[in-house]
Amino acid sequence: MESREQSNRSNPRSSAESLSRPSAIVIGGGFAGIAAARALHDASFQVVLLESRDRIGGRVCTDYSFGFPVDMGASWLHGVCEENPLAPLVGRLGLPLYRTGGDNSVLYDHDLESYALFDADGNQVPQKLVTEVGKTFGTILKETDKVREENSEDMSILKAFSIVLERRPDLRQQGTAHNVLQWYLCRMEGWFAADADSISLKYWDEEELLSGGHGLMVRGYYPVINTLAKGLDIRLNSRVTGISRRHSGVKISVEDGSTFTADAAIVAVPLGVLKSKKISFEPKLPQWKEKAISELGIGTENKIALHFDKVFWPNVEFLGVVASSSYGCSYFLNLHKATSYPVLVYMPAGRLAQDIEKMSDKDAANFAYMQLKKILPDASEPINYLVSHWGTDINSLGSYSYHTVGKSNDLYERLRIPVDNIFFAGEATSMNYPGTVHGAFSTGTIAAEECRMRVLERYGELDLHNLAMDGEMSTSLAVPLLISRM
């Protein structure tokens, strides 16, 4: 499938053997791309996966430099249930999960079961107050439903909040309670990786939440993707710059000058990369597709992992700092609770995350540490740190997608729809589970199946329907998930 002009290697597509086998190129080695390549490989396609980084996983990135796994991208399995498309694989690998939140938790991935919130002077906010304000937050969200029903025009969640508080003075909060409310808003912004003034009121709750709550991958996500990737032809350090399509097939150009040809391609790069137009399409993508790419939002959430020599913080699942605006609030995930490693992960989102990305890693780590010092003045200095840059990393250019204000509801679907023999996968093409690992995984398998059908149609008379699926990687085996909470 490869032709490298300088090395003068021949194109295997011209051999009789390869002509008789359908072929595809998958672009992007995150969960979507790997799932797509896996499915096509198992259906006896010739598949090459081109990945721009020197690693697979994309926004799943388990770092081992502390001497143990720390997920700097995704870390939760959202929906610990059999219906989760990833459950069979996670279960079969026997990977432990730590549940941080059940169904309907107001903080999405956390219950208010084990936490400690502090004000900026280091005083712990009484649990009773946090629970009460949590209920108020839930009521305000319900009230925004009415605002949505009354208005045909879309508006931001923030605007809807202010309309509700205008109408219902009883829901307004003062002093610390106000700050706790801002903290709830901050966590909602974390879920969407965007500020409340840009999240669509109309469509913010379109996503389907699977049952079973939220399980942290105690050993990190890498074992899952590594298993999925076994035996695939993956070319790392291969940044795709051009995709041209003809009726006869596709030709993919890579930054280093090499080209690849195949019957079809699956584009599984992040929405941010598509937005940046760093990959040229020839002929151009249709206007409806370009519009969907430009209109769907991509937010930023980052992680700053602080590694300490010992644990000096309370034995809770998360620590928070409340403030008068959501921008000033902080959230630390306590990895020690779930994994027994002395690590706190600071997770800023939206504009705050973008502002922190402008800092050096040292300053960013120090910023996170200063938030911690506010609440625990005796906090010792971290012995090591890790800082993610999902917003500015050329391979992601954003953390995950969300509905911005005033755009149509079919953007995810339009992003998914194939253009000739180019298929699209990735979290931003998932109508049901956008912004998640299992969503990305599903879109990869769906795109692979569509691609397979399309290519088989072209091969017509060949009896390719009987191409064997590789039983080894079959994910149909149901094994219970190992979920716990301490």
Query: CB of residue 14 vs ligand FAD: minimum separation in angstroms?
Result: 25
* Window 349-408: residues binding ligand FAD (CB under 6 A): 388, 390, 395-396, 399-400
CB of 56 to ligand FAD, least distance (A): 6
- Does 435 help bind ligand FAD (rule: CB under 6 A)? yes
- Binders of ligand FAD among residues 229 to 268 (CB under 6 A) are 239-240, 268
Which one of residues 13, 22, 23, 28 is an interface residue with ligand FAD (CB under 6 A)?
28
- The answer to whether 27 contacts ligand FAD (rule: CB under 6 A) is yes
**Residues within the annotated binding site?**
240, 346
**31 binds ligand FAD per the rule CB under 6 A:** yes
Quick one: 179 or 253, whose CB is closer to ligand FAD?
Answer: 253
* Residues of this chain, 436-465, that bind ligand FAD according to CB under 6 A: 436-437, 440
Q: Show the binding pattern over residues 79-118: x = contacts ligand FAD (CB under 6 A), - = does not.
A: ----------------------------------------
Amino acid, res. 310: K
Residues annotated in a binding site for substrate: 346
Instruction: Compute the distance between CA of residue 231 and CA of residue 356 in angstroms, rounded to an integer.
Output: 39
Residue 58 interacting with ligand FAD (CB under 6 A)? yes
Q: Does 308 bind ligand FAD (CB under 6 A)?
A: no
Interface segment toward ligand FAD; rule CB under 6 A; list 16-24, 136-144, 184-192, 299-307: 299-307
How many other C-beta atoms lie within 10 A of the C-beta of residue 212?
21
Residue 136 Cβ vs ligand FAD, minimum distance, rounded to whole Å? 27
Nearer to ligand FAD, 76 or 332 (CB): 76
Query: Using CB under 6 A as the criterion, which residues of the chain lie in contact with ligand FAD when the complex forms?
Result: 27-33, 50-53, 58-60, 73-76, 78, 239-240, 268-270, 273, 279, 301-303, 388, 390, 395-396, 399-400, 426-427, 435-437, 440
